[in-house]
Chain A
Amino acid sequence: MVLLEAVNVCKTYKNGNQETPVLKDINLQIHKGEFISVMGPSGSGKSTLLYAISGLDRVTSGQVLLNGKDLTRLSEDELASVRLHNIGFVFQHIHLMRNLTLFDNIVLSAYLAGRQDRKSIRQRAGELMAMTGIVHLADHDITQVSGGQLQRAAICRALINSPDILFGDEPTGALNSQSAQDIMRLLADINRQGMTILLVTHDPRVAACTERVLFMLDGRLVAEKKLGKIIQDNPEERRNRENQLSEWLVRQGF
């Protein structure tokens, strides 16, 4: 079942009279439960694609359909509602609110959505924190915990409203290798529970954890590699997937 579809999506930046096309005729389908990564050299338009199809930015032309609803036709308030209820986002630099504790950061958007009572929200936040291993840090300020722990909290925040899809823009980019590995393991677990995930990354080890890898070049999706779901999370399988992917990337000129 197609969850999200991009149809002929274009994005052009204007600077005075000068126009710079960043996304050119992107067509993409994401199925429910998929775990996808987008790779490509710097400036290829990966992040722009992510922001454009997640409702954080507007496209210049084309359609973005989420559950059949065209995001490009929504008003700002409707789009905000989509971001609140249907989409979760994890950023490279985390972007938690500085003046809230970890727990408050996690529950903020759920309280705003107000779809559940506070007790249920707190319970769900507790479950997510337990799953990501940060339950003991609930009352900490964000300046008191490590980058990896902050990114776990950011994942909890993104999942608190049970979105349809989770986007990640280099979610491991600012972390050390151990933390990055832990986060990817966590994301894979979440995907196994049915969450659709789309990541942008430049790290083949991260992309190797996903089941489908899209390759972008100069604003276009130029290639695709299906790796399939990770069946057994062991070092050997991981190495195999990384090797497969590396060879493919070399062929793409990466």
Chain B
Amino acid sequence: MLLHLLKRDLYKKKSVTAILFIFILLSTLLASAGTNMIRELVSSMSDLLVKSAVPHYVQMHSGTLDERAIERWASDTQLVDMHQIVEMVPVEGSHLYLGHQDTPESTSVMDFYFVRQNEKFDFLLNLSNERVEVSEGEIAVPVFFMQQRNLSVGDRVRIVHPKFIREFTISDFVRDAQMNPSIIHSKRFVIHPADYDFLKQQAGGVEYLIEFRLTDAGKLGEFHTLYQASDMPKVGPSIDLNMFRMLNALTDGVIAVVLLLVSLLLIVIAMLCVRFTLLSTLEEDYREIGVLKAIGASRRHIRSIYLVKYVALSAAAALCGFAASFPAMQLMSSNITLYLGQAERGLLYIVLPLFSAAMMFGLLLLFCTMVLRRFHRISVVEALRSGSIGEAKVSGRRWRLNRNRLLPIPVFLGLKNVFQRLRMFGLLFFVFVASAFLLLVPIHFLNTIKSPDFVSYLGIGRSDLRIDLQYSDRMDERFKSTVDAIRNDEDVERFSPLVTSRFRLLNDDGTVDQLNVETGDFTIFPLEYVQGGAPIRDNEIALSVQNAREMERKVGDTIRLIVGGKEKTMVISGIYQDITNGGRTAKAAIPHDPESVLWYTISLDLKPDVDLQTKIAEYEKAFEPAKVTDLQGYIRQTLGQTIAQLRNLAVVAFFVSIFLSMLMTALFLSLLMAKDRPHTAILRSIGFAHRHIRTQYVTMSLTVLIAGIVTGTILSNTIGQTLVGAIWSLLGASGIRFVIEPVQAYIVCPLILMLAVVVTSWIGTGSARRINIAEMIKE
């Protein structure tokens, strides 16, 4: 009996059933894939961290170094389990050619370091997560470049240095637990010790990673304070295990969370669809339910008739979604596999997605049971007498046809229908709001991140060009000569030399920390401040959001720095956003400390008629090995991977939201038309043509869509911005403000959505032609 009813119902409502099936399938697929992706990310990352024996604490250092002093300090410090000093030979991008590229990597923002495989820990792994071993003349290249430059084993890497030329054959690729993500600007290439010695000798100048593994990784904070307070070398940023974890998980973690959020959204839509379908079925079968009750069928029995369909449908869809999640996960986790490797999958590989699918299934069933409680309210007599649940009473006196002067009659009736049945259209409205939100937020964010104004989140002012000088021999001298050359260049409109050096910071509790402070004149290329303004007087300092948060300081508060050997109280003049250097930077108009310079930068604007690219080429040649980048290029390279992923996300979101809108419009209209068949038959009987009926439905969906787009746009500009801001605040940008392209956001996207919905409505209402007037209203 139940099977017979099920078959009949499925046959009768093929399209509605199919759409519901798709929704449940998609939501279970995304939930299963999302949870599995998180599992994969966590297990692969911990596998990589374990196999590479990642250091717990790393201090980068440029300049001279006393190895014995470090060894003494390490053996005296109980927290240190092991330590090592890793030497790295920096190679200028302008000297490096990767694969088949004809041009060197001079425009790259990455720093290229050539290293040997480590002996004790911090192993650089290959794509099988085994230690990379290379022979003489071979090189193992970071996976970042394998992906970016499309490299493969056997390709060449050339160093064309003024003093020598060296060519390597790529024998492997490197997974580097420390420096994998694109947001980290240092990348390590592994070469044979003999080649390393040659390079070190020829290229001259090495940089160091002073690495520690602790006896208790939980005491990182304590160790950090201890190290920074010591006289150990520290000309360079320090980074720790938590940071490695966060940076490695960031990109894919965000995607997994987005997948889970979308799956939740889909399941909510599926639940609303189920509610709407169930209530429509209930409406249709009201009289039959009355008859069943009249002949003594129990509530439970009647309920099971209706529930069985949804149990079967949800179970089948959830199972398919669960099964489909595995190939989908394979696709989505390719980035994880590439950068982090693949850990042993174990039982959780099956159990976690199964649990997610079961959760979705359970949620739906619970919801169905709740909706079906309405059966309790159906009275036998009422059902038999009226044969209809009846909608909320609608008045004809609101929206009088007689007072309508402008609108064509079908359009007017469509509008009237929407405004008199707002509750019913709520489902469609919700979906349209979600679609508009889903469509607009990634586009807004992509435009924001691509916009030249995004530099304000990178802690730098807006300028045409930027010249970066990293630590090297006679750097101070070179910097001065560069500044002089720029001063004398007639093509330069204005420029601002800035020096970042390390200062000692006295904490309230008496301990000492280090603070990277950029010094110079910050009024030439002004920065946007979240609070306050630029440091102008020599006792003023501006802090990055992250630093201000960690130091618990606000504008007007003070911090104590050691400047020129003396304690100096600095007043915080402003707080700005910065996602570079771990988000921990500061700016002050004080003289820099020549002993602890980290890097030099010169920002400059060219005169209007000067060609930017020609100037870049000229400066690259003149100031070699300085890095010369235009602002757009700087953003592109710093956030290139994020922009690329965001672009993919925006494209996917675009199609998903269009698909979602079309699917829901089709589903909703098919249910609505079934419900409105008698109403349509009356209109047809008095002379409404098929196109009039269609226009009425198109008007309804378009009205709800417009309301949905307006609401979705407002929400994406407010809540969307807050959401994106919340994610980015982890990196140090607290107040992301969307850069909105009005034509794209307010005209093109809504028009595409409208077109999709109008076409779907027009096609979807084609079945109105099949309504037989006589059958519907024959007495």
Q: Which residues of A contact B777 (CB under 8 A)?
A: 91, 93, 95
Interchain residue pairs A-B with the least CB separation, the first 4: A84-B687, A80-B689, A57-B774, A104-B401
Residue of B nearest to A13 (CB): B775
Nearest CB on A from B671, distance (A):
19
Nearest chain B CB to A127's CB is how many angstroms away?
16
| B685 engages A141 (CB within 8 Å) | no
Chain A residues with CB below 8 A from B1, complex form: none
Check if B347 is an interface residue, CB within 8 A of chain A. Answer: no
Write out the residue numbers on chain B whose beta carbons fall within 8 Å of the beta carbon of A57. Answer: 772-774
Enumerate chain A interface residues (CB-CB to B < 8 A): 47-48, 51, 56-57, 76-77, 80-81, 83-85, 89, 91-93, 95-101, 103-105, 107-109, 111-113, 118, 122, 139, 141-143, 157, 161, 169-170, 173
One of B39-47, B102-110, B230-238, B392-400 contacting the partner: B392-400
B684 part of interface (Cβ distance < 8 Å): yes
**Contact call A89/B396, Cβ cutoff below 8 A:** no
Determine if B692 is an interface residue (Cβ-Cβ < 8 Å): yes
Could you tell me if A170 and B779 are in contact, using CB atoms closer than 8 angstroms? yes
Chain B residue contacts of A103, Cβ below 8 A: 402
**Contact A76 to B769, CB < 8 A, known contacts A47-B778, A109-B687:** yes
Chain B residue nearest to A85 (CB atoms) is B687
Q: How far is the CA of A89 from the CA of B687 in the complex (A)?
A: 10
Given contacts A56-B773, A57-B773, A77-B689, is CB(A104)–CB(B400) below 8 Å?
Answer: yes
- Give the residues in chain A near B401, CB-CB below 8 Å: 100-101, 104, 107-108, 111
A246 → B minimal CB distance (Å): 23
| A99-B417, A104-B402 given; 20 more Cβ-contact pairs under 8 Å | A47-B778, A47-B779, A51-B773, A56-B774, A76-B690, A83-B687, A84-B689, A85-B687, A89-B686, A97-B679, A97-B683, A99-B396, A101-B400, A104-B396, A107-B402, A108-B401, A108-B686, A112-B688, A141-B395, A169-B778
B230 CB to closest chain A CB, in angstroms? 81
Chain A residues, CB < 8 A from B779: 47, 91-93, 169-170, 173
A63 vs B417: C-alpha distance when bound (angstroms):
38
Given contacts A80-B690, A91-B777, A141-B395, contact A99 B420 (CB under 8 A): yes
Judge whether A95 and B687 touch: CB under 8 Å: no
Contact between chains at A95 and B685 (CB < 8 Å): yes
Chain B nearest Cβ from A155, distance in angstroms: 13
Give bound CA distance, A76 to B772, whole Å.
12
Some 7 contacts from A to B, beta carbons below 8 A apart, are: A56-B774, A80-B688, A85-B687, A89-B686, A103-B402, A104-B401, A107-B402
Name the distance in Å between A25's Cβ and chain B's nearest Cβ.
Answer: 20
Report A-chain residues with C-beta under 8 Å of the C-beta of B683.
Answer: 97
- Looking at the assembled complex, report how far the CB atom of B626 sits from the nearest CB atom of chain A, in whole angstroms: 75
Inter-chain contact A112/B409, CB cutoff 8 Å: yes
Query: Which residues on B sit within 8 Å (CB–CB) of A170?
Result: 779
Given contacts A111-B401, A170-B779, contact A101 B687 (CB under 8 A): no
Q: Tell me which residues across on chain A come within 8 A of B420, comparing CB atoms.
A: 99
CB distance A83 to B396 under 8 Å? no
Please report the C-alpha to C-alpha distance between residue A161 and residue B686 in the assembled complex, in whole angstroms: 10
Complex: A105 Cα to B769 Cα, angstroms: 23
Could you tell me if A122 and B402 are in contact, using CB atoms closer than 8 angstroms? Answer: yes
| Complex alpha-carbon distance, A131 and B472, angstroms | 104
Asked if A101 and B688 make an inter-chain contact with CB atoms under 8 angstroms apart, the answer reads: no
Q: How far is the CA of A47 from the CA of B777 in the complex (A)?
A: 11
Give CA–CA (A107, B404) in the complex, Å: 12
Give complex CA distance A101, B420 in Å: 14
State whether A100 touches B687 (Cβ < 8 A): no
State which residues 682-708 of B face A: CB under 8 Å: 682-692
Closest beta carbon of chain B to A46's beta carbon, Å: 10
The reply to whether B400 and A56 form a contact with Cβ atoms under 8 Å apart is: no
> CA of A83 to CA of B779 in the docked complex: distance in angstroms?
19
Query: Which residues does chain B contribute within 8 Å of A77, judged by CB atoms?
Result: 689-691
**B689 proximity list for chain A (CB < 8 A):** 76-77, 80-81, 84
Q: Contacts A80-B689, A83-B686, A157-B686; is A100 near B396 (CB within 8 Å)?
A: yes
A111 touches B690 (CB 8 A): no
CB-defined contacts of B692 to chain A, threshold 8 Å: 80, 112
Q: Which residues of A contact B778 (CB under 8 A)?
A: 47, 51, 169
- The reply to whether B687 and A112 form a contact with Cβ atoms under 8 Å apart is yes
Residues on the B chain within 8 Å of A56, using CB:
685, 773-774
B95 within 8 A of A: no
Which residue of A101, A109, A118 contacts B397 across the interface (Cβ within 8 Å)? A101
Tell me whether A81 and B687 are in contact (CB under 8 A).
yes
Interface residues of B in 410-426 (CB under 8 A from A): 410, 416-417, 420
Chain B residues whose CB sits within 8 angstroms of the CB of A118 once the complex forms: 405
Q: In the complex, A161 Cα to B688 Cα: how many Å?
A: 13
**Interface contact A141-B409, CB-CB below 8 Å:** no
B394 — which chain A residues lie within 8 A by C-beta?
98-99
Report Cα–Cα, A104/B683, bound state, in Å.
13
For residue B773, which residue of chain A has the nearest CB? A56
* Residues in B neighbouring A101, C-beta threshold 8 A: 396-397, 400-402
Q: How far is the CB of A58 from chain B (nearest CB, A)?
A: 9
**In the complex, which residues of chain B have a beta carbon less than 8 angstroms from the beta carbon of A109?**
686-687
Measured in the bound complex, the distance between the Cα atoms of B774 and A83 in whole Å is: 13
Which residues from A are CB-within-8-Å of B395? 99, 141
CB-CB under 8 A from B409, the residues of chain A are 108, 111-112
Q: Cα distance A99–B774 when bound, in Å?
A: 22
List the B side residues contacting A85 at CB < 8 Å: 687
Give the docked Cα–Cα distance between A97 and B416 (Å).
Answer: 12
Closest Cβ neighbor of A11 among chain B residues: B774
Return the chain B residue nearest A93 by Cβ. B779
User: Nearest residue in B to A52 (C-beta to C-beta)?
Assistant: B774
Given A100-B396, A141-B396: A83 in contact with B402 (beta carbons within 8 A): no
Nearest-CB distance from A82 to chain B (Å)? Answer: 8
Whole-angstrom CA separation of A101 from B409 in the bound complex: 15
The residues of A that contact B405 with a CB separation of less than 8 Å are 118
* Contact indicator per residue, chain B 648-691, by CB within 8 Å of chain A (1) or not (0): 00000000000000000000000000000011001111111111
Query: In angstroms, how far is the closest chain A Cβ from the Cβ of B21?
Result: 28
Inter-chain CA distance A76–B679, complex, in Å, is 18
A87 to chain B, nearest CB (A): 8
Q: Which of B169-201 contact A (CB under 8 A)?
A: none
How far apart are the CA atoms of A76 and B694 in the complex, in Å?
A: 14
Task: Say whether B393 contacts A143, CB under 8 Å.
Answer: yes
Q: Distance (Å) between the CB of A154 and the closest chain B CB?
A: 10
Q: Is B402 touching A51 in the complex (CB atoms < 8 A)?
A: no
A56 CA / B688 CA spacing, docked (Å): 12
- Rounded to whole angstroms, the CA-CA distance of A98 and B392 in the bound complex is 12
Segment 107-123 of B: residues with Cβ below 8 Å from A: none
Chain B residues with CB under 8 Å of A122's CB are 402
Q: In the docked arrangement, what's the CA distance between A51 and B684, Å?
A: 13
- Give, as a whole number of angstroms, the nearest-CB distance from A136 to chain B: 15
B417 partner residues in chain A, CB cutoff 8 A: 99
Bound-state Cα–Cα, A169 to B196, Å: 101
List which B357-409 residues lie within 8 A (CB) of chain A. Answer: 393-397, 400-402, 405, 409
CB A75 to nearest CB in B, in angstroms, measures 10
Which A-chain residue is minimally distant from B678 (CB atoms)? A95
When distances are taken between beta carbons in the complex, the residues of chain B under 8 Å from A83 are 684-687
Closest to A114 in B: B409
A100 to chain B, nearest CB (A): 4
Q: Are B687 and A113 closer than 8 Å at their CB atoms?
A: yes
Could you tell me if A89 and B397 are in contact, using CB atoms closer than 8 angstroms? no
* Alpha-carbon gap, A111 to B417, bound state (A): 18
- CA A97 – CA B417 in complex, angstroms? 11
Closest chain A CB from B414 CB (angstroms): 12
In chain B, positions 744-779 with a C-beta closer than 8 Å to chain A are 769, 772-774, 777-779
